With several copies, the nearest count.
Chain A
Amino acid sequence: MSGVDLTVKIGRLTLKNPVLVSSGTFGYGREFADFFDINRLGGIITKAITPQPRPGNPPPRTVETPAGLLNAIGLENCGLEAFVREKMPYLKTLDTAVIVNVAGASEQDYVDVVRRLAEEDGVDGFEINISCPNVKEGGIEFGTRPEPAAALVGKLRRETDKTLIVKLSPNVTDPCEIAEAAEGAGADAFSLVNTFRGMAINQETGRPVLGNRIGGLSGPAIKPLALYQVYRLSLKSTKSIIGMGGIFNTADAMEFIYAGADAISVGTANLVRPTASLEIVEGLEAYCAARGVGRIGDCVGRAHE
């Protein structure tokens, strides 16, 4: 191999490389197994899990916008028990970090999921989704003010020694305030950004296109906005950061790493090219090798210099 050290630490976890795949865009991993060996990834982040199954929002659930994708899936998922029964057996066979994205309508919902999975072998960490813009019960009230965020994270911290990643919303004046509160309550790491609230209107009928009216914007359109949020948080927080938002290729990934992300996560790009994340794993290695970078970690935060 090239001899480049791609390993990174995210909270209590060491990833073999900094490339993750984002919640809601990679299913439970198996959906992509035909296309490449997903053990090549640094890790995978599952679709959000809630205690009970959720049917999700009425269609249409997605609409394309310039260089972006609006979605209002509404946290459709099979629920905690079905997840353990149907998805965990496969996840346990993986030789890559498995991070479960957790969502809920109440503190208790989050606690239920984390408690149940805390002792599961195949789960390496949790991404606490307090930033879903698409459902009233999507935890967004925990994501917009510091106090509820801290209270929630504190409760979850008591449930598990596994890595707790708090996923931040960009739809607030200052995500760093939420991060600071969560850090104080025991968060190990942060991931950002979740989608930006947006909408599209049918120009003939004048009505919202999405069944849910409002959705969250992802994809290349939001990359500059996401980069700024990562840059800003990394100025203030010493915790690990997983950067995401519009990462489609190696150059995009490096932008986030330079902005201060310890790891990056590929979302919408998985829908466009199923092998996008693997291409970035290989691309980062080639990027470092070509420039004599021995450790990808040395690039983190260079934009701050």
Chain B
Amino acid sequence: MKYFLKAKVRENTVLSEGWHALRIECPEIAASASPGQFVQLRAWEGASPLLARPIGVAGVPAAGEILLWVQRVGDGTRLITGLKAGDAISVTGPLGRGFTMPAAGETVYFAAGCVGAAPLRFVAERQQAGVKSIFFYGAGTQCDTVAPLADPVISGMEVVVTTDDGTCGEKGFVTDALRSALKNKKPDRILACGPMGMLRAVAALAAEAGVKCEVSMESHMGCGLGACNGCVVSVKDGTGKKYAHVCTDGPVFDSDYIDWEAF
């Protein structure tokens, strides 16, 4: 069941420059969302921006509310991150197909780039006892590591941080850290979310190591409901299918289903 709700912002906290944590009151969605799913948000009247904005669910911090991590990049996210407690926001969700939840006894590597940590945080929040996991987190620079490192769910795990400029953790890409780790121990599954270049690199590492990998893909979203065919990514499968819908077939896909050469 999907809902379209006029919801209310309970809290909007700046975690670091341009990176906000919003807690939104929407009991129906909080009750049914699973990790990797997303919501479509609209918090303005009028025609610009026109479409709602897709944001992954980062957790269910309390009964009846969802947590979102939103990074300000353009007009839509500027309006969303500008909301105050008590403000109204339309929320459609939960949408899409999420991550495979790791089973007890399994080892899982999370690979997160920047705000792509959000849906993986939700996996970790829901993770059952007996799962062994490492959270690989990459960002450009130190200030983008504040939010995830301060988060109680993520900081409760084994975390490996990389930054492009070396201002926090190891200098380098998250894939560098992941590559070393894969040499030591192959997990049962890699779950990844972040910029396209990173996902492609993670997918290549996973394929090389023969480890199952799921990636959360982005695309320009229209309806978010599988109705407009606007959100496709190129895929390869036996049946000759060329495109899959990020909003309903994904956003989480097996990494070897994606046609990485098309990007």
Contacts and interface: CB of A to CB of B under 8 A. Distances in A.
B28 to A, nearest CB: 11
B51 A271 contact: yes
A59 B234 contact: yes
A27 B225 contact: yes
A272 B46 CA distance: 11
B234 A274 contact: no
Contact of B47 (A27, A34, A71, A219): A219
A56 B227 contact: no
A60 B219 CA distance: 8
Interface string A235-271: 0000000000000100000000000000000001011
A63 B220 contact: yes
Given A58-B234, A61-B230, A275 B4 contact: yes
A35 B50 contact: no
B241 interface: yes
A262 B222 CA distance: 28
B241 to A, nearest CB: 7
B232 A270 contact: no
Contact of B243 (A55, A64, A248): A55
Interface in B132-166: none
Contact of A272 (B50, B220, B234): B50
Nearest to A209: B220
A275 B4 CA distance: 8
A27 B50 contact: no
A70 to B, nearest CB: 10
Interface string B31-49: 0000000000010001111
Interface in B230-263: 230-234, 241-243, 262
Nearest to A66: B47
B226 interface: yes
B228 interface: yes
Query: Which 4 A-B residue pairings sit nearest by Cβ, starting from the closest?
Result: A27-B227, A67-B47, A31-B227, A55-B242
A44 to B, nearest CB: 11
Contacts of A24: 228-229
A275 B42 CA distance: 14
A31 B226 contact: yes
Contacts of B63: none
Nearest to A77: B229
A69 B227 contact: no
Given A56-B229, A69-B51, A69-B222, 7 more contacts: A31-B226, A61-B231, A62-B220, A64-B49, A271-B228, A273-B4, A274-B4
A59 B219 contact: yes
B89 interface: no
A196 interface: no
Interface string B1-21: 111100000000000000000
A164 interface: no
Interface in A17-40: 24-27, 31-32, 34-35
B120 to A, nearest CB: 24
Contacts of B4: 35, 273-275
Interface in A52-104: 55-56, 58-64, 66-69, 71, 73, 76
15 contacts: A26-B227, A27-B225, A32-B227, A35-B3, A55-B242, A59-B220, A59-B233, A60-B220, A69-B50, A69-B51, A69-B222, A271-B228, A272-B51, A272-B52, A274-B225
Nearest to B225: A31
Nearest to B245: A76
Contacts of B52: 271-272
A302 to B, nearest CB: 21
Contacts of B3: 34-35
B38 to A, nearest CB: 15
Contact of B223 (A61, A66, A219, A270): A270
Nearest to A55: B242
Nearest to A72: B230
B92 interface: yes
Contacts of A219: 47, 50
A27 B243 contact: no
Interface in A150-184: none
Interface string B60-71: 000000000000
A31 B228 CA distance: 10
Given A59-B234, A60-B219, A275-B4, A220 B229 contact: no
Contacts of A56: 229, 232, 243
B100 interface: no
In this complex, the member of A25, A27, A60, A64 whose beta carbon has the largest number of chain B beta carbons within 10 angstroms is: A64
A213 to B, nearest CB: 16
